[in-house]
């Protein structure tokens, strides 16, 4: 099987605005290698979420292509969407609003398990077992299952959102600023969790952040985006020690320091 799990080529996305159209992404391409973390860094408005949505098939680019595990993303047929959802999942910035406020954590976590089609749908006992496994895997206590999102902290909600994304054992995880909404003291804990899960589950992660402090620990490869274009790319260690582009140098100078304990 190919080492490339997500292959993005020459993406172009523009948004309609009152004054005309606004180019949010242009000529963006990269390959995410199995088991690695590719970090995408750039200031707010540089096109990072647009890129994440295009990779997850949540928007269709005007130009370019996205291949997941060697298959072009297709958005028409329910069967294709189910296949994609089994192999690629997203974790969003705002953990509280990414969970249904009216559902217990157990219900939210069971949803993706129940959405599996046909004969693959697991029995009730299997679902309870998997729920307990998922809750333990993200470092939460089992009694969280009967609680509602508003009873949890932001960090706990993000752990639930991660558990939910991992429910059907996807190969690829796209994390769009997964710690930006969290207290600084909690950010490092959630990054450590992602790192641990990645190693345990051999996940491939597209990790989006607006500052370098957050990606320093987790990134293998790094892409720096500015105004919808990639301005620098390469092994994270190399870019973080010898940034070439002035924009990257500025990002490095304003880096927030996290305490990873």
Ligand X SMILES: Nc1ncnc2c1ncn2[C@@H]1O[C@H](COP(=O)(O)OP(=O)(O)O)[C@@H](O)[C@H]1O
Q: Which of 40-48, 67-75, 94-102, 138-146 is the region at the interface with ligand X (rule: CB under 6 A)? A: 40-48
Cβ closer to ligand X: 20 or 261? 20
222 contacts 233 by C-beta, under 8 angstroms:
yes
Question: Which residue in the set 5, 24, 41, 69 belongs to the binding site for ligand X (CB under 6 A)?
Answer: 24
- Interface characters, 96-125, with Mg ion (x: CB under 5 A): ------------------------------
Residue with smaller CB distance to ligand X, 216 or 226: 226
CB nearer to Mg ion: pick between 48 and 159: 48
Kindly tell me which residue out of 36, 46, 156, 248 binds ligand X, with binding defined by CB under 6 A. 46
Q: Is 119 in the site for ligand X (CB under 6 A)?
A: no
Question: Binding Mg ion by CB under 5 A: which of 36, 37, 49, 158?
Answer: 49
Least distance from C-beta 10 to Mg ion, angstroms?
A: 21
Q: Choose between 49 and 248: whose C-beta lies nearer to Mg ion.
A: 49
Structural contact between residues 99 and 148, judged by C-beta atoms closer than 8 angstroms: no
CA distance 86 to 65: 20
Q: Mind spelling out the 3-state secondary structure of the chain?
A: CCCEEEEEEEEEEEEEECCEEEEEEEEEEEEEECCCEEEEECCCCCCHHHHHHHHCCCCCCCEEEEEECCEECCCCCHHHHHHHHHHEEEECCCCCCCCCCCCCHHHHHHHHHHCCCHHHCCCHHHHHHHHHHHHHHCCCCHHHHHCCHHHCCHHHHHHHHHHHHHCCCCCEEEEECCCCCCCHHHHHHHHHHHHHHHHHHCCEEEEEECCHHHHCCCCCEEEEEECCEEEEEEEHHHHHHCCCCHHHHHHHHCCCCCCCC
Taking the least distance from each CB to ligand X, the nearer of 14 and 104 is 14
The reply on whether position 8 binds ligand X by CB under 6 A is no
Whether residue 62 contacts residue 13, with contact meaning beta carbons closer than 8 Å, is answered with yes
Interface with ligand X includes 48 (CB under 6 A)?
A: yes
The binder of ligand X chosen from 44, 76, 119, 241 (CB under 6 A): 44
Of 42 and 170, which has the nearer Cβ to ligand X?
42
101 contacts ligand X (rule: CB under 6 A):
no
Asked whether position 50 contacts ligand X by CB under 6 A, the answer is yes
Which of 14, 128 has the CB closer to Mg ion?
A: 14
Query: Of the candidates 22, 126, 142, 235, which one interacts with ligand X according to CB under 6 A?
Result: 22
**In the complex, least distance from residue 163 CB atom to Mg ion, rounded to whole angstroms:** 22
Q: How many other C-beta atoms lie within 10 A of the C-beta of residue 134?
A: 24
Residues found near ligand X in the complex (CB under 6 A): 15, 17, 22, 24, 42, 44-50
Residues found near Mg ion in the complex (CB under 5 A): 48-49
């Amino acid at each position: 099987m190919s080492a490339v799990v997500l292959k993005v080529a020459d993406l172009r996305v523009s948004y309609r605005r009152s004054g005309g159209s606004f180019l949010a992404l242009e000529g963006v391409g990269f390959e995410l290698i199995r088991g690695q973390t590719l970090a995408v860094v750039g200031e707010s408005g540089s096109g990072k979420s647009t890129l994440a949505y295009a990779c997850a098939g949540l928007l269709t680019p005007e130009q370019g292509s996205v291949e997941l595990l060697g298959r072009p993303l297709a958005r028409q047929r329910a069967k294709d969407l189910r296949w994609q959802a089994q192999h690629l999942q997203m974790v969003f910035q705002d953990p509280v609003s990414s969970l249904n406020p009216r559902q217990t954590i157990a219900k939210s976590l069971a949803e993706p398990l129940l959405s599996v089609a046909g004969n693959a749908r697991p029995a009730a006992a299997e679902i309870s077992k998997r729920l307990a496994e998922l809750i333990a895997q993200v470092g939460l206590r089992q009694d969280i299952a009967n609680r509602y999102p508003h009873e949890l902290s932001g960090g706990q909600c993000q752990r639930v959102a991660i558990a939910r994304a991992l429910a059907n054992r996807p190969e690829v995880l796209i994390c769009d600023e997964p710690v930006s909404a969290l207290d600084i003291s909690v950010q490092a804990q959630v990054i450590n969790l992602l790192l641990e899960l990645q190693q345990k589950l051999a996940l491939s992660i597209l990790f989006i952040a607006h500052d370098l402090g957050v990606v320093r620990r987790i990134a293998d490869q790094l892409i720096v985006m500015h105004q919808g274009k990639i301005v620098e790319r390469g092994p994270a260690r190399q870019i973080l020690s010898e940034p070439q582009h002035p924009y990257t140098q500025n990002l490095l100078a304003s880096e927030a320091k996290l305490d990873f304990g």
